[in-house]
Structure 1
Amino acid sequence: MIRIREDVRFAREGDGGVLLDLAKNRFFDLNATGADIWQHVLAGASVDQIVAVLSQETMTSPAVIEKAVGEFLQTLDSLGLVIVGKTEPTSERSCHA
């Protein structure tokens, strides 16, 4: 399960996007792939669902996609933007629009 912190916002920008961390007054640029992954997270997709869709769309091995998606989400988790695979505290929401 992937949960987005309630103080994180996303804006599409060109082919990519920007994540805004309102709590720490930071922003992060996303390339097109990162923005696509984020959109799937917003829609409530699981890691397996994201991997399946991106693998099919890019005609890339699921193992390669799974590694890239996992690394991306772990980076977001380490930055405090999402919570990956942990129990949900009451102050977190499952997604933002």
Structure 2
Amino acid sequence: MVAVAPNLKSISDPDGAVVFDILRDTFIALNMTGAYVWTRLEKGQLVDAIVNELARDTGSDPHEVAADVAEFMEQLMIRHLIVSPPDGNRSSRL
């Protein structure tokens, strides 16, 4: 399981999202797909559920969607936008 870092503020619309990292004083722009994933992460949705919904909503191959979302999640982690639980249990959620 992952969670959105507590030091973030974001705004989303149908065209994408902008995430402001208060601690680092940086903005990150997300495209429509990134915003789709981001808004669901903010709601506490599990990554597996987001992948399933995204594949269903776009008619895309679930395996391809899972790979793309995993890559996106890695980028979010590198940028400190998401955090894993204290025990480091990232399991199959990424």
Q: TM-score, normalised by structure 2?
A: 0.86
User: Which structure exhibits the higher relative contact order, with contacts defined as CA atoms closer than 8 Å and separated by 6 or more residues?
Assistant: 1
RMSD of the TM alignment (CA)?
1.4
1:51-97 CA distance string (max 9 Å, x none): 100000000011010011111111010011111xx3338xxxxxxxx
Q: Which one has the bigger helix percentage?
A: 2
Percentage of pairs with the same residue: 29
2:44 corresponds to which residue?
44
Q: How many residues align?
A: 87
> How far does the alpha carbon of each residue in 1:2-55 deviate from its partner, in whole angstroms, 9 at most, with x for none?
111110111114510101100000001100000010011011111110010000
The whole-number CA distance in structure 2 between the counterparts of 1:82 and 1:26 is 15
Give the match for residue 23 of structure 2: 23
Distance change in 2, residues 1:14/1:49 (3 Å): closer
Determine if contact 2:40/2:50 at 8 Å carries over to the other structure: yes
TM-score (norm 1): 0.83
Whether 1:11 and 2:1 are equivalent positions in the alignment is no
